[in-house]
Copies of this chain bind each other. A is one copy, B any other.
Amino acid sequence: MIDSPRDLFLKCREYRDSYDARAQGFYPYFRSIEGTRGNHVICGGEEKIMIGSNNYLGLAHDPRVVEAACQATREYGSGCTGSRLLNGSLRIHEELEEALAAFLDREAVLLFSTGFFANQGALSALTEEGDVILCDRENHASIIDGCAFAPAKLIPFRHNAPESLENRLKRVDPAAGRLLAVDGVFSMSGDLVNLPPMVEIAKKHHCRVYVDEAHSLGVLGPNGRGSVHHFGLNKEVDVVMGTFSKSLGSMGGFIAGDGEMIEYLRHRARCLIFTASLAPAVTGGVLKALQIMQEEPERLDALWRNTRKMHEGFLSMGFKIGTTKSPIVPILIGSERGSFQFAQRLFEEGVFATPAIYPAVKYGEAIVRTSYMATHSEEDLNRVLEVFGKLAKELGTFDDPAYANPGRRKNVFDFRLSEQGREAAVRNNPGTNP
């Protein structure tokens, strides 16, 4: 007779975290949005100020973007029902690729159906067995997963630390192909990549450079061209990745670079070849958003005006916001439970933001992640600051020792790992930020 093997579903039966958080009244995820105008949303019939999105320029709800999405759907249908390779290449996809290539001053661009896929597809297709990918420890999860999928070996280096990058590069097999992969703006800390010295080190060590502009496109650089243009390093960076699900207000992503590299990816990136192409609505909406972004630089100005106001506002109230240089403002809370409670109370007070806990941030340094938009009003932002001030008094933040020391409180919500697994991961994990 057959022995009784492990049941794959046992872990689903034993899983408790989200049920426990709900039972305790502060489950912060999958909040149902019944209506939205970007800067404000409706949840449970009540209006909330949204400071938890990546809709930096507010373009996802611009009537011209909405109409362009509808127009593309009327023209091309609701979907392409096939991959770019086979039957899903619309003229509008090519138009978007051409517009992005011109905008970013690159020879060619290739669309992917998600930003995650752009990283996964490019990193796995561009590297081979024996190559290495040098990753900032705070890189986005899709870079980490792209590396896990790639034949190359991931080598993590200390967040935003060129000297750590160089130490790692010095120890790489002399024959190995090398790729430096970094976020332009880091999604949790809001940090701006320290790109100039990194590029210099990379060049010295014959290492190609890959920058993920997910949170920097539409945020940094002339007309929102991203961190690479912000630093004037467009000639030095080999591959630029970007997404459509942040400033451009939709979903999907792209890789930009030289024509031969893009032609290679078109025929080698498996998650491109084996996935249906972007829906016409998405493609048409992004094309229009890209145009508006270039024609209306006042949006970028408004974004930065709001960003500066919030940086200053939080700092003047004594909040710890780390080293952010962007509209992403992490509010350091400390314990996981604390960050969940804080987010829940924010929600009750009419402010929508989400906590981020390990492994999205360092263990014991849970945050409430906030982010700001060009379309937030002065009134919105004043209200947000007011609520944060009230809740800091009510609940405490990182300065409260009970929150600061993860050993002092039971962490209610283990996002991904068992306690042992978490400890091992804290030592070994190169970072898995959303």
CB distance from A400 to the nearest CB of B (A): 25
Which chain B residues lie closer than 8 Å to A273 at the CB level?
141, 434
Q: Which segment, of A126-134, A157-165, A190-198, A382-390, faces chain B?
A: A126-134
Q: Given B66, B89, B174, B268, which contacts A73 in the complex, CB threshold below 8 Å?
A: B66
Which chain B residues lie closer than 8 Å to A15 at the CB level?
260, 263-264, 267
Which chain B residues lie closer than 8 Å to A84 at the CB level?
30
Can you list, as one digit per residue, whether each of A61-93 has a CB less than 8 Å from chain B (1) or not (0)? 100011001100111111111111111011100
Q: Given B3, B145, B270, which contacts A175 in the complex, CB threshold below 8 Å?
A: B3
Q: Given B113, B264, B281, which contacts A281 in the complex, CB threshold below 8 Å?
A: B281
| Closest partner residue, chain B, to A94 (CB atom) | B32
Q: Known contacts A113-B113, A140-B274, A282-B281: does B75 contact A12 (CB below 8 Å)?
A: no
Given the complex of chains A and B, what is the CA–CA distance between A14 and B148 in angstroms? 26
Can you list, as one digit per residue, whether each of A173-186 has a CB less than 8 Å from chain B (1) or not (0)? 11111110000000
| Closest partner residue, chain B, to A170 (CB atom) | B2
Q: Which segment, of A245-253, A298-306, A307-315, A318-326, faces chain B?
A: A245-253
Can you list, as one digit per residue, whether each of A240-282 has a CB less than 8 Å from chain B (1) or not (0)? 0001111001110000001011011011101101111111011
Which chain B residues lie closer than 8 Å to A177 at the CB level?
5-8
Q: Is A115 in contact with chain B by the CB < 8 A criterion?
A: yes
Given the complex of chains A and B, what is the CA–CA distance between A246 and B116 in angstroms? 22
* Copies per complex of this chain: 2
Which chain B residues lie closer than 8 Å to A432 at the CB level?
270
A79 touches B178 (CB 8 A): no
CB distance from A4 to the nearest CB of B (A): 6
Given the complex of chains A and B, what is the CA–CA distance between A91 and B270 in angstroms? 32
Which chain B residues lie closer than 8 Å to A270 at the CB level?
141, 145, 432
Which chain B residues lie closer than 8 Å to A281 at the CB level?
69-70, 73, 78, 279, 281-282, 285
A174 touches B3 (CB 8 A): yes
Q: Which segment, of A202-210, A227-235, A328-336, A391-399, faces chain B?
A: A202-210
Report A40-66 residues with CB < 8 Å from chain B CB: 50, 52-55, 59-61, 65-66
B82 touches A245 (CB 8 A): yes
B70 touches A73 (CB 8 A): yes
Q: Is A103 in contact with chain B by the CB < 8 A criterion?
A: no
CB distance from A285 to the nearest CB of B (A): 4
Given the complex of chains A and B, what is the CA–CA distance between A273 and B187 in angstroms? 14
Can you list, as one digit per residue, whether each of A99-143 has a CB less than 8 Å from chain B (1) or not (0)? 000000000000001111100000000111011000000001110
Q: Given B69, B205, B415, which contacts A78 in the complex, CB threshold below 8 Å?
A: B69
Which chain B residues lie closer than 8 Å to A354 at the CB level?
85-87
A2 touches B206 (CB 8 A): yes
| Closest partner residue, chain B, to A89 (CB atom) | B30
B289 touches A176 (CB 8 A): no
Given the complex of chains A and B, what is the CA–CA distance between A363 and B52 in angstroms? 50
B52 touches A86 (CB 8 A): yes
Closest 3 CB pairs of A and B: A245-B276, A281-B281, A79-B250
- Apart from the given pairs A15-B264, A73-B73, A85-B354, 9 other A-B contacts in the complex at a CB distance below 8 Å: A5-B177, A18-B267, A61-B77, A70-B70, A80-B245, A81-B249, A145-B149, A145-B271, A145-B274
Q: Name 22 A/B residue pairs within 8 A (Cβ), A-sorted.
A: A5-B172, A5-B175, A6-B131, A6-B175, A15-B263, A15-B264, A17-B267, A30-B84, A30-B266, A32-B91, A52-B86, A53-B82, A54-B81, A69-B281, A70-B281, A73-B285, A81-B250, A113-B113, A114-B117, A140-B274, A142-B275, A267-B415
